[in-house]
């Protein structure tokens, strides 16, 4: 049956940034599909809450709390996952982010930090996990990029450039790791998370964002998780090197992503 291709029974997934928002939704979705999950983020209490949801689905969960802004820490997740569960089949690189800042206030150090937090951490875990995958049955990597990696808007110079780099990193890593490890990404648009709440200042701005979106709503973490599940399972077995836009249609329009003056 075609729906069997969306299953991950007997598989192990590693999800970074799994304590809340998109990362938590990804972890639960993968567990619903049958995967055991290694959950990593900074706040242990948040991770434990998500781990309980995974266990309630009858799957195993292993929590790794720590500062994942260090690429060495993300790379170590592959070792922890292999030691705990004996294999890695899926990696979801969800760690990343960054606050808006106009160019006049973007120091070189600020830009380098955005690349380290978004690109370097992704590469560190992808490389380490791929070594484990290639010793086993292969696997799938899905990275969370952003619509801001393609659509220009004031205030997103560091963050948007780093996310754009992730899109091409996805294509290059897919070429290097094919055919046994598939590498894809999702590019969310406006998704209801704590990060979005920091940008949308009031109801009027929220209404403007909704009007600018062809589907006329702000997305949910589960909207992103559904796309990640497709790419992580055999449902997406003939896709690699792709960036799937989960944005309500934002990238099909000339969208105004500009922030108000700081």
Q: Which residues are catalytic?
A: 159
Q: Which residue has the tokens 């996310």?
A: 163
Report helix, strand or coil for 239.
coil
Vertex 94: Cα angle to 92 and 97 (nearest 5): 165
The first and second tokens of residue 142, run together, are: 């899905």
- In DSSP terms, 183 is beta-bridged to 141
The alpha helices in the chain, defined as continuous H runs, are 21-32, 44-56, 71-85, 108-115, 121-135, 157-177, 194-199, 203-212, 221-232
Q: Which residues contact 156 (CB under 8 A, 6 or more apart)?
A: 100, 148, 257, 259
Determine the Cα–Cα distance for residues 200 and 59; give it in Å rounded to an integer.
36
Beta strands 12-16 and 36-41: pairing type? parallel
């Amino acid at each position: 049956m075609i729906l069997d291709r969306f299953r991950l029974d007997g598989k192990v997934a590693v999800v970074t940034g799994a304590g809340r928002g998109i990362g938590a939704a990804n972890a639960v979705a993968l567990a619903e599909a049958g995967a055991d999950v290694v959950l990593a983020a900074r706040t242990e209490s948040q991770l434990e809450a998500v781990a309980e949801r995974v266990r309630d689905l009858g799957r195993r969960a292993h929590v790794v709390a720590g500062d994942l802004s260090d690429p060495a820490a993300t790379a170590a997740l592959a070792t922890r996952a292999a030691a705990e569960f004996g294999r890695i089949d899926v990696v979801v690189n969800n760690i990343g982010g960054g606050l808006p800042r106009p160019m006049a206030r973007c120091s070189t150090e600020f830009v380098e930090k955005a690349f380290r937090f978004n690109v370097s951490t992704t590469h560190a875990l992808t490389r380490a996990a791929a070594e484990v995958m290639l010793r086993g049955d292969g696997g799938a990597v899905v990275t969370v990029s952003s619509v801001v990696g393609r659509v220009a808007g004031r205030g997103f110079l560091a963050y948007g450039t780093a996310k754009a780099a992730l899109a091409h990193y996805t294509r290059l890593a897919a070429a290097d790791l094919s055919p046994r490890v598939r590498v894809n990404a999702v590019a969310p648009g406006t998704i209801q998370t704590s990060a979005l709440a920091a940008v949308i200042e009031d109801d009027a701005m929220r209404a403007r964002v909704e009007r600018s979106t062809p589907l006329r709503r702000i997305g949910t973490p589960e909207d992103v998780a559904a796309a990640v599940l497709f790419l992580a399972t055999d449902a997406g077995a003939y896709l690699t090197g792709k960036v799937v836009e989960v944005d309500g249609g934002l990238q099909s329009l000339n969208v105004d992503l500009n922030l108000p003056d700081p």
